[in-house]
């Protein structure tokens, strides 16, 4: 049995993967990506981001997203949708204009409206806002923050609720919030504030981009999920990967990586409110890590030759 089969038996809703467009011509890749016994859920790594979906103002393009969503429909895999609002991978037309607040609010609403409708039958969840906080818990000064103010976050959630079906879960998603720290506490405050003022929010996505030697413990991950459970928030591990800080890796580093993967999945399995785990791609050659963190890598469950690593077996043995 594959990881999704085992995860479901263990009580999770799915085990999933991000899928990137650049390797869709590789049939070895696609046959694993859309193998429902390994992955019951997919997330387009890039195809739903603003630069691809609204390359010109009011001009929408779903091609890249559909390249992943269509085979997922066929394979009966669930889709998590990522992401309506994020400060990077924005189209140039947004960055290069001095918008007034009403203009940018209207751009935000129109974007969410069109994209929500295009994928209305596909998304079990939407990452409505991605990475809005700094490490110290202050707001990241994105173009949305600068022009609209911190209300851009609640506006995005209100628009998302207005244009998605009721059953679509609306998530706030971020990295380095997998332990109780200043950033995750800021997210908890955002949730409490939303609840007091009846602004819709259903879940918190823990990206879980980890590094060997620095990954959070099982207990730390359990504690933060409990903190969100006390606020009635569903959680998911939305972008799990565990990168090597230096290459080449030793066998010992491979085992440490396997333990970090296992502890993350185990924490999600054991936490009351964690519904599933998504790895941020399963194949090293398409991982975002080497491009973003030069010198680091080998972060995925399958190696360059499509062999499953120790980490895969540590997860499957634990589940």
Helix (H, G, I), strand (E, B) or coil at 280: coil
Residue 133 carries which DSSP code?
A: B
Which residues on adjacent β-strands are paired with residue 283? 302
Annotated active-site residue in 38, 54, 115, 131 = 131
Whose tokens are 């009846």? That residue is 198
Could you count the other beta carbons within 10 Å of the beta carbon of residue 234?
21
Task: Tell me, letter by letter, the H, E, C secondary structure of 20-87.
Answer: CHHHCCCHHHHHHHCCCCCCCEEEECCCCCHHHHCCECCECCCHHHHHHHHHHHHCCCEEEEEEEECC
Site for ligand XIL in 244-303 (CB under 6 A): 288
The first and second tokens of residue 20, run together, are 């990137």
Q: Closest approach of Cβ 46 to ligand XIL, in Å?
A: 5
Strands 203-206, 169-174: pairing kind: parallel
- 50/314 with CB nearer ligand XIL: 50
| From 38, 54, 178, 239, the catalytic residue | 239
Of 40 and 47, the one with the shorter C-beta distance to ligand XIL is 47
- In DSSP terms, which residues pair with 308 in a beta bridge? 302
Size of the site for ligand XIL (CB under 6 A): 7
Minimum CB distance to ligand XIL, residue 211 (Å): 13
Work out whether 176 is an interface residue with ligand XIL (CB under 6 A): no
Nearer to ligand XIL, 98 or 291 (CB): 291
With respect to ligand XIL, which residue has the nearer C-beta, 217 or 292? 292
Q: How far is residue 223 CA from its own chain's centroid?
A: 20
131 is catalytic: yes
Question: What residue number has its CB nearest to ligand XIL?
Answer: 288
Joined tokens for residue 207: 């990206």
Q: On the CB side of 212, how many CA atoms lie within 13 Å of its CA?
A: 23
Residue closer to ligand XIL, measured from CB, 173 or 316: 173
| Dihedral (Cα; 94, 87, 62, 288), 10-degree rounding | 130
Active site residue 67: no
CB of 5 to ligand XIL, least distance (A): 26
Binding mask 17-56 for ligand XIL (x = CB under 6 A): ---x------------------------xx----------
Please identify, using beta-carbon distances, which residue of 123 and 319 lies nearer to ligand XIL: 123
Pick 6 or 279: Cβ nearer ligand XIL: 279
CB-facing half-sphere around the CA of 183: CA atoms within 13 A: 17
Single out the residue of 17, 207, 257, 298 in contact with ligand XIL (rule: CB under 6 A): 207
Least Å from the CB of residue 48 to ligand XIL: 9
* Binding residues for ligand XIL restricted to 230-249, rule: CB under 6 A: 239
Smallest distance, ligand XIL to C-beta of residue 43, A: 9
Q: Residues 105-144: x/- map of binding to ligand XIL (CB under 6 A)?
A: -------------------------x--------------
Q: Supply φ then ψ for residue 43, to 5 degrees.
A: -130, 125
What residues contact residue 57 under an 8 Å CB cut-off, 6+ apart?
Answer: 93, 107
Residues that bind ligand XIL (CB under 6 A): 20, 45-46, 130, 207, 239, 288
> Which residues have a catalytic role annotated?
131, 239
């Amino acid at each position: 049995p594959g990881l999704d089969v085992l995860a479901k038996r263990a009580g999770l809703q799915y085990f999933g993967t991000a899928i990137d467009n650049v390797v869709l011509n590789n049939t070895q890749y696609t046959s694993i990506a859309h193998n429902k016994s390994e992955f019951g859920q997919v997330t387009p790594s890039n195809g739903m981001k603003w630069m691809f979906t609204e390359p010109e103002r009011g001009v929408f393009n779903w091609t890249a997203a559909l390249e992943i969503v269509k085979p997922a429909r066929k394979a009966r895999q669930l889709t998590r949708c990522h992401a309506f609002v994020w400060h990077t991978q924005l189209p140039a037309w947004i960055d290069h204009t001095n918008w007034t607040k009403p203009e940018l609010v209207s751009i935000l609403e129109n974007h969410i409206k069109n994209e929500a409708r295009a994928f209305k039958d596909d998304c079990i969840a939407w990452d409505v806002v991605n990475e809005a906080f700094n490490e110290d818990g202050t707001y990241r000064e994105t173009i949305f923050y600068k022009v609209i103010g911190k209300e851009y976050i609640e506006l995005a959630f209100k628009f998302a609720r207005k244009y998605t079906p009721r059953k679509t879960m609306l998530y706030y998603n971020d990295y380095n919030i997998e332990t109780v720290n200043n950033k995750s506490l800021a997210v908890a405050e955002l949730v409490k504030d939303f609840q007091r003022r009846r602004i819709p929010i259903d879940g918190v996505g823990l990206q879980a981009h980890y590094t060997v030697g620095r990954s959070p413990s099982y207990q730390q991950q359990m504690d933060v999920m409990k903190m969100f459970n006390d606020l009635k928030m569903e959680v998911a591990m939305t972008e799990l990967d565990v990168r090597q800080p230096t290459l080449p890796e030793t066998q010992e580093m491979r085992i440490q990586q396997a333990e970090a993967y296992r502890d993350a999945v185990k924490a999600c399995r054991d936490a009351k409110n964690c519904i599933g785990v998504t790895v941020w791609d399963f194949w090293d050659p398409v991982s975002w890590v080497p491009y973003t963190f030069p010198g680091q890598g080998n972060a995925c469950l399958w190696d360059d030759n499509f062999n499953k690593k120790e980490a895969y077996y540590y997860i499957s043995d634990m589940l």
